[in-house]
Structure 1
Amino acid sequence: MSTPNHELLPEPPPAPSPAVPRFGVTPARWTNPHRLLPRVRWAVQIAYLAFLALVGLEFARFVSQATSDGPLTVSRPPAVEAFLPIAALLGLKRFLLTRYWDEVHPAGLTILLAALATAFLARKAFCSWVCPVGTISRALEWIGRRTLWRRRWPAVPRWLDLPLSSLKYLLLGFFVWTVGQMPLEAIEGFLRSPFNTAADAKMLLFFRHPGTMSLFVIGALAALSLVVKHFWCRYLCPYGALLGVASLLSPLSVRRDPDACNDCRACTRACPAEIPVHTRLRVISTECTGCMSCVAACTTPDCLGVTRKGARALSPWLVPAVALSTLLGFWAIARATGFWETSLPAAAFRFAYRLMGIE
């Protein structure tokens, strides 16, 4: 008895099952919609760094004219006061006690409050999207990844990471304790002193003519940043420590869906602070800078996102948008209400510069 021809044909192979992401394998059709976050962050950081460079050049011209006998035709850029955090901290205590804004360096106090506001609203996005030191640290990380650590950055052991991380909080505690112990009369005297008035020019001299020890310290920090991601930001920056404490009250945080996670650990490898994102349901940490690198590196759809106190996932673009709009809002309000420009005339700065021996 003959067999029909179709029974002699081999059975067709079974249809492939839908791809299930495991161990870093993702469906080919899925592309992370937030993959451009790091590039946009680079653009914002470089733009702000260029802005600060222009501010520095303008301020250098102002100091040059102020220390000469010629007329003062260049205005002093208020944004230079961003480099005076101690004066801003003293100005903040004075404001809380008297409700009077700092007349000498008003922009410094505005910038400090704006940075704290960004931490309350959008974690430490000021550190990762605006701060020039954070930009330099990221550039050093980029260099290290392409020269020394092409495969993977060496992880800092937890037994060493925890005590090193405490250093910046100890520095913050020292500054807060010192300012807290100062009576109002001493703060008033310091803020009105020629030393405080000339603090911006002294900072300029530091950048212009750093000493041997300063160059050694800067070189050591740069070398350490090629071995440890963001060494200064993670272990020594008291400003970042202050924002980290404030960020604990932020309603926004990165959340991870354990059911969607494929345990590829791309998020943890991308984190500049080496937070083990792949083990957290929500990233509630004073070390999280809101850079969104983990979300951009995620290999699984709907695994990482941003939540508002456990609510539904929000777009990660909201974090930098809130941070940048908050900074711009503080600047616009301060400028419109007279809390941005110093009330001191240019002649007062000239007198203070000469009195402090600045040439």
Structure 2
Amino acid sequence: MGRLPCSWLCPFGLIQELLYRMPVPKISMKKWFRAGPYIFLGLFVIVLPILVVDATGYGSTWFCKYVCPAGTLEAGIPLLTLNSNLRRAAGWLFVNKLVVLIAISVWCMVTMRAFCRAICPLGAIYGLFNRISWLQLNFDPSRCVGCRACKTACPSDISFYNGEDSINSTACIRCMRCHSICPVNAVSLSFGPCLKTPDKEQAGIDIKAP
């Protein structure tokens, strides 16, 4: 399903959507930020745990321990709230995680899904499967009228209507908003075997937006 879990299952994704609704000035994100999740994946998830090890030869979960705001918000804060012993044991590491959580939360208020688009390494892994997943998005440029509704609705700011991006870009979180909002049904869904590009004429399922 590619990055579908990012938009339909991830609790922190919902929190980012709610934060973005705050009535504050908004800032667009440059496309080079899309490299961010792969940098965090390579450095914090692969390189540092392999190279920086303790006396027993084990590495640390660097991303979870020092960066991930989802763990802090969804697990750390509730656990410390309910357990007084954990509150007494919490030190500077937790303070650091709180600072990171606050900073990312503020960023998510002004930029749509900033964490997903610029940091999350799990989303980076899911994104690698977008172009070969069972679920595919199809774009018919002959139907497109250039209204930009798809780009306006897209939380990842993907521009496939003008050929700048692929509709199955690794940045796409499969929210289906482009499919729902297109007034001329230029976007369709298709389902087929993995590793095979679906034929939109034979396998396409065109579900019209309400």
Q: Is the structural similarity TM-score above 0.5?
A: yes
**Residue 134 of structure 1: aligned partner:** 13
Aligned-residue sequence identity (percent) comes to 25
Work out whether residues 248 and 284 of structure 1, in 8 Å CA contact, stay in contact via their aligned partners in 2: yes
Amino acid at match of 1:241: A
2:40 pairs with 165, 171, 174, which one? Answer: 171
Per the alignment, residue 295 of structure 1 pairs with 179
Q: What's the CA shift for 1:214?
A: 2.8
User: Pairwise CA RMSD of aligned residues?
Assistant: 3.2
Unaligned segments of structure 2, at least 5 residues: 61-70, 81-86
1:278 aligns with 2:161: yes
Is the Cα contact below 8 Å between 1:256 and 1:282 reproduced in 2? no
State the structure with more CA Rg.
1
Superposed displacement of residue 253, structure 1: 2.4
Question: What is the DSSP-based 3-state SS (H/G/I as helix, E as strand, rest coil) of the residue aligned with 1:258?
Answer: coil
More helix as a share of residues: 1
Separation in 1 of the partners of 2:168 and 2:75?
A: 37
Question: Secondary structure of 1:299's partner?
Answer: coil
Match of 2:199 in 1: 311
Q: 1:259 to 1:315 in 2, by over 3 A?
A: closer
Q: Per the alignment, do residues 282 and 252 of structure 1 end up closer, same or farther by CA in structure 2, a change over 3 Å counting?
A: farther
Structure 1 residue 180 displacement after superposition: 6.0
Instruction: List aligned pairs for 1:152-167, cutoff 5 A.
Output: 154-156=27-29, 160-162=30-32, 164-167=33-36
After TM superposition, the structure 1 = structure 2 runs for residues 25-64 of structure 1, keeping only pairs within 5 Å, are: none
How many Å apart are 1:311 and its aligned residue?
1.1
Q: Could you state the TM-score of these two structures normalised by the residue count of structure 2?
A: 0.68
Contact 2:2–2:128 at 8 Å: present in 1 too?
A: no
Pair 1:297–1:178, CA change in 2 (3 A): same
Of 140, 146, 168 in structure 2, the residue corresponding to residue 263 of structure 1 is 146
When residues 129 and 214 of structure 1 are mapped into structure 2, their CA distance, relative to the original with a 3 A threshold, is same
Where does residue 66 of structure 2 map in the other structure?
Answer: none
CA deviation digits over 1:199-234, x for unaligned, max 9? x9xx94454257443332212211111111101111
Indicate if the aligned counterparts of 2:124 and 2:170 stay in contact, CA closer than 8 A. yes
Q: Structure 1 residue aligned with 2:24, among 148, 151, 154?
A: 148
Q: TM-score, normalised by structure 1?
A: 0.42
Q: CA 1:213 to 1:276, structure 2 compared with 1: closer, same or farther past 3 Å?
A: same
Q: Distance in 1 between matches of 2:120 and 2:157?
A: 17
Amino acid at match of 1:311: D
Q: Give, in whole Å, the separation in 1 of the partners of 2:6 and 2:143.
A: 30
